[in-house]
Structure 1
Amino acid sequence: MEESEAEAVLRRAASVLLGPPDTRFYERLPLVRRALLELPAIPARRALTRLCDHAATEPESDLRAHHARVFGARRRTLDVLDHTGGDARPRRRLRARISRIYADGGWYRAGSERPDHLAVLLEFAARGAPEHGERMLVRLRPGLERLRTALADYGTAYSGVLDAVCATLPAPERSDAPVGGADGRTARGRAVGGADAAVPAVPMQARRSEEAAAGPRAAERTRR
């Protein structure tokens, strides 16, 4: 599987798993898990499949209540710009800019979420305009890392989703560098560090996996 396909599967799966556990969530859950299992056995995949398994076995009412508790708190909101601090006016300008990027790419949000809602950003990066989507995720990395820490501190299974998301991005030391190089490719294969340990980025994991044989185009599965 191509690197870009693996990233699309991981980001699309993370987008679905961060959504509220409603009827549509449970309809898509088996498709997401099946698509993930077609990836190499990398840590990012394992983190997301663990949440799939947890969601499939947890009583629906308990999972809904847990999701509401986790992401209902301002310090754990999925609106990534809320984790960047500072004055509200720059955040409003950035949200307007993100909305313009969506519109320029022909991407229109059906729900009521803000443009910087993580599930929306991930969906755009997976299915809309991957290069623009990744640039936005890299730009918002400080907020992602703060949310990641907040979820880990809370002790929720959703923290693994942020681990997987951050593992698809360039290493933090390159976050301020241009996303595209001279050949249009993004720097890959370095460690993506967390608070306690480094999580290898997707391509390095895939190259080292013994299960890296190409399978069906799993990215197509998650688009249903």
Structure 2
Amino acid sequence: MSPLPTTVPAMVRTRVRAAMRRPFRLTPEEAEARALLLRLCSLLLQYPDRELITSRPELTKAISALPSSPAAEHLAAFVSWFADDESEALERTYVETFDPRRKSSLYLTYYLHGDTRRRGMALLTLNQRYRAAGWDTGGGELPDHLPVVLEFAALAGPGGGEAPLRQHRRGLELIHRALTDADSPYRHVLATLLALLPPPTDADLAAVARLAAEGPPDEEVGLAPYGSFGGGEFTPPSTFVPPVPAPAPAPVPTSRAEGHR
């Protein structure tokens, strides 16, 4: 993006840049095609349970029918692997790829806020956005889980619906880099998503490099009611976290105990 002349007032320059990064106006057909791509990405980034495995022929057919585009080519490359591998191998690959301790975790607010109070607030804000749009996630996952964010984007459209994706553009870039470095087939799904978003700025790329080198902020407090657990990890809703043992009762002073005998 070329810089705007310095003679343009700062406020105007800011507004022009923001407008250039907003999604362009789409025809109904283009919006429908975009929603389909987002929904396919959401499905393919979910855990490959029996239902998803059974749906592989339908997914392959839907992807092969997409109009030619870089996004469609990436999805075709992914599904050529996904459609042929054994279910147990797919499950194992998924768990190893998206382990919360890796740079390819799918929980987006972690990249922006780490285990800090701000992340807890970001989760609440995201959940409130869903409710304001009349969408109930069902409570099966945290609201920042990428497949959930993608499903909301597909349902709510490129304006407000895709706002969380644009907000977490740097985290998405980091996930894609980690998957590419690992030569993971899932890199194609992230590439599909990134192809739908505005290109990264120089500031974005510099921030991603810092994030890759230093990691997100670290402050292991303040994630209630969603919860967190040590070492930079955070627990999905279904994970069992042992309760903290209750403190032992204070000993009764000898003199007081004798006085009640």
1:170, CA displacement in angstroms?
1.8
1:61, CA displacement in angstroms?
0.7
Question: Which residue, out of 125, 138, 141, partners 1:110?
Answer: 138
Please say if 1:24 is aligned against 2:51.
yes
Alignment TM-score, normalising by the size of structure 2: 0.63
The aligned runs of 1:29-48 (5 Å cut-off) are 29-48=56-75
Q: Provide closer, same or farther for how the CA distance between residues 66 and 87 of structure 1 changes in structure 2, counting only shifts above 3 A.
A: closer
Measured against aligned partners, the alpha-carbon deviations of 1:27-81 in whole angstroms (never above 9, x if no partner) come to: 3333333222232221211111222221111011111101010012422211011
Q: Structure 1 or 2: larger helix share?
A: 1
The aligned runs of 1:59-98 (5 Å cut-off) are 59-75=86-102, 76-86=104-114, 88-98=116-126
8 Å contact from structure 1 (residues 8, 125) kept in 2: yes
8 Å contact from structure 2 (residues 42, 150) kept in 1: yes
8 Å contact from structure 1 (residues 83, 147) kept in 2: no
The sequence identity of aligned pairs, in percent, is 36
1:105, CA displacement in angstroms?
1.0
Measured against aligned partners, the alpha-carbon deviations of 1:121-144 in whole angstroms (never above 9, x if no partner) come to: 001111245422211110111111
Q: Unaligned stretches of 5+ in structure 2?
A: 1-27, 210-261
Number of the residue aligned with 2:18: none
8 Å contact from structure 1 (residues 138, 175) kept in 2: no
How many equivalent residue pairs?
178
Measured against aligned partners, the alpha-carbon deviations of 1:84-109 in whole angstroms (never above 9, x if no partner) come to: 25551111111111100101111111
Partner Cα distance (1:144, 1:175) in 2: 15
Measured against aligned partners, the alpha-carbon deviations of 1:159-205 in whole angstroms (never above 9, x if no partner) come to: 111110011112223999xxxxxxxxxxxxxxxxx99xxxxxxxxxx
CA RMSD of aligned residues (A): 2.4
Alignment TM-score, normalising by the size of structure 1: 0.72
Higher relative contact order (CA 8 A, sep 6+): 1
Number of the residue aligned with 1:14: 41
